[in-house]
A and B are shown apart, each in its own frame.
Chain A
Amino acid sequence: MIEVHRVSKVFSVGPVKVPALREVSFRVSKGEFVVLSGASGAGKTTLLRLLYRDDLPSEGDIEVLGHDLVPMRRSQVAPLRRSIGVVFQDAKLLPIRTVYENVAFVLRVLGAPRREITARVFDALRVVGLSSRAQAYPAQLSQGEAQRAALARAIVRRPPLLLADEPTGNLDDAMAAEIIDVLKDIGAGGTTIVLATHQARLARALHRRMITLDGGRVVKDEG
């Protein structure tokens, strides 16, 4: 499903080279739920960005869903992304659209048939427990609800891989637990999940495989 081989990423800030990832290697099998943990600045977000081909590594190889990402042409990025759901710490909901419209937007831009959209949107909202808030605007949602709406948007295409970058970063413990439960449910359905979090307690509580990053290196891979 995912194979990361000796990946390094160096950012250039003027003449200064800042290493974000150093020789990172790991594999994630189909259906696995992997927690990527580490303090802020450990390289979790950089790694996730490389996995959905938002950036390229300075060195190393990455294979995701059978696609070799490094030599991938720009025109092949969009088809890859259709198989990956991504959620962020900031829900990134469109403020002038309702929850339903935010989730349906994804299917619309991908050209899904109209009759399919309603059923799939409500299915995704049901999975995240947000069916009753379909007509609410993002400003009317709690942070937990907004994050669940973002999760619904990420899974509405039923992607085989879900990348979650600090989805509980802005939430209190109760709301974070809700999101984690939703992620577990999604994972139970067979979706491969990579969850990045700096919340060590939350990561341990999940009892899943945990890859720990520190200073851009994998320092622990356990579970």
Chain B
Amino acid sequence: MAISAIVLITLSLAALGGFWLVSSNLGRAVAQWRDRVRIVVYLKREPPAPEAVLGRVRAIPGVSGVTYIAKADALRALKQVLGKDASVVDQLPANPLPASLEVTPSAAAATPEGARDLLGRLAALPEADEVAGSADWIERLSQWQRLLTTIGLGVGAVLSVAAILTVTTATTLILHARRHETEIMRLVGAPESTIRLPLLLQGMMQGLAGAVLALIALMIGYSLVAPRLEPLVSLTLGIPDLMFFTPVGILTLLGAGTLLGGLGGWLARAGREP
């Protein structure tokens, strides 16, 4: 019974920890991509005084920074992109590229709603011809992250309840085996804490053992999966590596296991005074 309690705590924490790992790595990608969101405002014509336009844009709520890109700068950038084919640009009768403003939204505006609002405000500028950019796909990534967190919490919660019940049952069986001892202890006036503390400690030890096993399982899983997934993750999500738990995360997981086991031990039916 004690072994099944440990196994269930291991399973619940491994599931919870697994989802937590995936979610936190996705969270890193989302945070990184949010920093890279840019909105480009293409201007109808080159303003005679760009500083004045920049000043008005900086005053718009949700703008963290803004850079003016003149027509000539845009053409230079295009040539750089074209590389050895840059001579094509020289054959154009005139520079077709518009001047633009590259706007960096603040963190609050790097969401679909924030970005939409900001796009609307930027499009309302009299100099603006067209506004491009959105944070939709980043938000979709963020939604996946939230979904994974929710699933992880759900699965973890169900398994945690099962683990608590198993520890409770295991402790109740132990109590049954020791019922004469407990009866004598109550009869002579032993404090309830003296009777229940060993059960609490036993539950906590089972929980801690389950958490350590879950951590070992997650470490093995991480060391097997991470090297294979990192190239793909780097290419698609832009994060260079997959992170394991921080020391705080490890302590949290161990603490959660100890808490689960302790709760199960404490909830065991030891009989009560009337």
User: Which residues of A come within 8 Å of B, CB atoms?
Assistant: 52-56, 74-75, 77-84, 86, 92, 94, 105-106, 109-111, 153, 157
Contacts and interface: CB of A to CB of B under 8 A. Distances in A.
A157 B187 CA distance: 12
What 5 pairs across the A-B complex have the smallest Cβ distances?
A: A81-B189, A82-B189, A109-B190, A78-B189, A106-B188
Contacts of B194: 109, 111
A94 to B, nearest CB: 6
Contact of B188 (A54, A56, A75, A157): A157
Interface residues of B, number: 16
Contacts of A54: 273-274
Nearest to B193: A78
Contact of A82 (B180, B188, B192, B274): B188
B249 to A, nearest CB: 39
Contact of B187 (A55, A74, A86, A111): A86
A74 B184 contact: no
Contacts of A84: 189
B183 interface: yes
Nearest to A84: B189
Contacts of A111: 194
B185 interface: yes
B191 interface: yes
Given A53-B273, A55-B274, A56-B274, A81 B181 contact: no
B187 A78 contact: no
B181 A94 contact: yes
A74 B186 CA distance: 12
Nearest to A82: B189
Contacts of B192: 75, 78
Nearest to A157: B188
Contacts of A80: 189
Interface of B: 180-181, 183-192, 194, 272-274
Contacts of A110: 188-190
Nearest to B274: A56
A40 to B, nearest CB: 22
A176 B186 CA distance: 27
Given A81-B187, A84-B189, 15 more contacts: A56-B274, A78-B190, A81-B186, A81-B189, A82-B189, A83-B189, A92-B180, A92-B184, A94-B180, A105-B181, A106-B188, A109-B188, A110-B188, A110-B189, A157-B188
14 contacts: A53-B273, A54-B274, A78-B189, A78-B190, A78-B192, A81-B188, A83-B189, A92-B184, A105-B181, A109-B188, A109-B194, A110-B188, A111-B194, A157-B188
A167 to B, nearest CB: 14
A92 B183 contact: yes
Nearest to B181: A94
B274 A106 contact: no
A106 B183 CA distance: 11
A53 B274 CA distance: 8
Contacts of A74: 272-274
Contacts of B272: 74
A78 B194 CA distance: 11
Contacts of A83: 189
A133 to B, nearest CB: 19
A109 B195 CA distance: 8
